[in-house]
Structure 1
Amino acid sequence: MLNRLEMIRIFCAAADAGSFKEAAVRLGISPQAVTRAVKELERLQGEMLFHRNTRQVRITSFGEALAERARNSLNQLDGLFERGAAAPEDPMSGLVRLAAPSALGRRYLLPLIDELATAYPGLRFDLRFNDQLADVVGEKIDIGVRIGVLRENRFVVRRLGKARLYTVATPKFLRKHGKPNNVEELQAMPHTGILDRDTGRLWPWMFSRERQMNAAGARFQCDDSETEYLIVKSGQAIGQIAGFLVEQDIADGKLVAVMEDYEPEPWEMYLYRPQRGPMPARLRLVFDTLAQALGAR
């Protein structure tokens, strides 16, 4: 039994050809197959679609009306398979959903998004700035930035460089508490801790040669790296902060890096998209813009 889509295609070919035999030639099937398809469609419709005898075939009024509707439906269906048929007329329009660590997103991605939004008014942005790892499938992420280990081998990845971790405090804090020389002295000072929302525990501080410091005794704990940075910059605590947040402050003398011999290995920073395959022009634009700007940072 023919599927209904094929039945409609055969019927339209017969209506256009005005002959079951000619329709069969055009479709590369037998005249009997055309006859069977038309009879089945007539049964389903409860109407005659063609007047026919041994010498000729004439489409009925009902058949003409059905053929018109069927052609429109087939054209719409065929259009779905044309390249970019479902895409907006302007290739630089539509939604782009981005994920990034909160501080990096606010400080570096937002200015780039502002430029793109100004240059391409048709673009829309859904920004997911969070220090927890994004659920790229559940949140339907198009493009993301990640710092640290990236284990998903299905991702399309661009390495952007490395992110250093500095142990920093204000000059005022260090005048009051002194400079720590080791992990034990550091742990005795007022320090910060970042909460891992998945476990409810504080992330340990990382140091060279795989040394760690338990941050459970932190005087200030928060779940956002930019908040931690602001606490450290206020002079209330010492913290371990990503370089992209503090390097300018260190250069300006507003923060001081300590325990530099303990500095851990830098973390890799990646730009990714979650799956391989065709990439719409709007996503390519945003991906390449971020890659160029963040890679040159």
Structure 2
Amino acid sequence: MNNLSWRAIRAFILVADAGSFTAAARESGFSKANLSQLVTELETALDIQLLYRTTRQLRLTEIGEGYYLRCKQALQQLDSAAEWACESKGGQEGTIRINAVGGVIGEDLIAPLVIRFQQANPGVRVHLDFSSTRVDLIQDQYDLVIRMGSLPDSSLVVRKLHTIKTRYVASPNFLKEYGPIEQPADLASVPLISGSVDQWLLTRGQNQQIVQVENSIKLISGRAMHRAALAGLGVTRLADIYVQADIASGRLAEILPGWSESTELSMVCPPLRHQLSRVRNLMQWLKEGFGSAYAQALAESPAA
């Protein structure tokens, strides 16, 4: 494929990502006319309409959507191949884009480890952001995602980072007002504090109970959920690192201890990005340092 075709494909991807020729021109530095010409030439060469254009909006055709996904993956493969070739010359250089869980786990444990990795590898530029939103590792171009819970996509490289125990807690004053909570079914009649999920799955041996939490107080932050529980606003479900010290001091009471569960914290990486030594080295760095950092934090002061 000649250079014009590659330029046209890149122009098409820029426009599809931006949602308009104007936005693509603004973000890329290319002129709107040049981008429009390249996309038109691509459609002519393929004899296929890739975009619906009107004066008010631009959107992909059905074939355009499929072509966009395949082209974007192909270009990402080419970019990864170029990065791999450059790395083979030696040295640790390049960017690593990470999306991780936030709160105590992300900000107090993962971030310091990443900072120390950055100090030890000054040629690497780390971009770290925290979000509870599920991301698409292909579309969002992250090199590494750190997540809790199930990971259904088997095409990705997954490495276990730690096993975290989840506990259900409430303040002593809350329990005085609402009475003892002895079974998962009792949660249906008391105020709850939830995060980014709409149901809790409680497990005890082979028995599982689902508790719907759509009508709960919703706080998409572990720190905020922890503070709300201390304030007596309801029952919440948090990792032990948030609540263990409070349980020990009596500031929070653990409920349904037999229903406590363990959740995997995992590093997830696209196969192409896992080929890069800087990404593998960071994953190994986190693997070696996270367990001891977690244990130390668990033994220290409350999260609030």
Q: Is TM more than 0.5 here? A: yes
Deviation of residue 88 (structure 1)? 10
Aligned residue runs from structure 1 range 102-141, under 5 A: 102-103=102-103, 104-141=105-142
Residue matched to 1:150: 151
2:201 paired residue among 196, 203, 206: 206
The question of 1:266 aligning with 2:269 is answered: no
* Cα separation, 2, equivalents of 1:290 and 1:252: 31
Aligned position for 1:257: 254
Q: How far does the alpha carbon of each residue in 1:209-254 deviate from its partner, in whole angstroms, 9 at most, with x for none? A: 2211121332x21233332223223332221112233234334443
Relative to 1, partners in 2 of residues 1:113 and 1:214: Cα closer, same or farther, differing over 3 Å? same
- Cα offset for 1:291? 1.0
Contact 1:102 1:226 in 2 (8 A): no
Report what 1:91 is aligned to: 91
- CA contact under 8 A between 2:84 and 2:275: conserved in structure 1? no
- Aligned pair count? 210
Q: What's 1:59 paired with?
A: none
**Taking every aligned residue pair, what percent have the same amino acid on both sides?**
22
Structure 2 CA distance for partners of 1:92 and 1:253, relative to 1, 3 Å = farther
2:278 alignment partner, SS class: helix
Q: Distance in 2 between matches of 1:182 and 1:154?
A: 39
Work out the CA distance in 1 between the residues paired with 2:214 and 2:161: 32
Which amino acid is the alignment partner of residue 143 of structure 1?
Answer: L
Give the drift of 1:177: 3.5
Q: What is the TM-score with the length of structure 1 in the denominator?
A: 0.61
Task: Report the CA distance shift for 1:105/1:88 in structure 2 as closer, same or farther (over 3 A).
Answer: farther
- Give the 5 Å matches for 1:7-86: 86=86
Larger-Rg structure: 1
TM score, norm. by length of structure 2: 0.60
Shift in CA distance, 217/88, structure 1 to aligned 2, threshold 3 Å: same
Give the Å deviation of 1:90: 7.4
1:215 maps to: 213
From the superposition, tell whether residues 210 and 139 of structure 1 become closer, same or farther in structure 2 (CA, over 3 Å).
same
Any unmatched runs of 5+ in structure 1?
4-80, 197-202
* Helix, strand or coil at the partner of 2:187: helix
Equivalent pair of 1:168/1:258 in contact (CA under 8 Å): yes
Amino acid at match of 1:215: V
Tell me how large the CA RMSD over aligned residues is.
3.0
Q: Which amino acid aligns with 1:162?
A: T
Shift of 1:137: 0.8
Does residue 241 of structure 1 match 2:238?
yes
Between the aligned partners of 2:215 and 2:185, the Cα distance in structure 1 is: 12
Post-superposition Cα deviations, 1:131-166, rounded to whole Å, max 9, x if no partner, equal 122211112111222221122222222223422221
Q: Deviations over 1:186-213 (max 9, x none)?
A: 33222212245xxxxxx11221222111
Report the more deviating stretch, 148-157 or 83-92.
83-92
Q: Call closer, same or farther: CA 1:236–1:273 in 2, change over 3 Å.
A: same
> Is residue 95–residue 124 contact of structure 1 (8 Å, CA) maintained in 2?
yes
Closer, same or farther: CA 171–185 of 1 in aligned 2, 3 Å: same
Quick one: distance in 2 between partners of 1:245 and 1:262?
A: 18
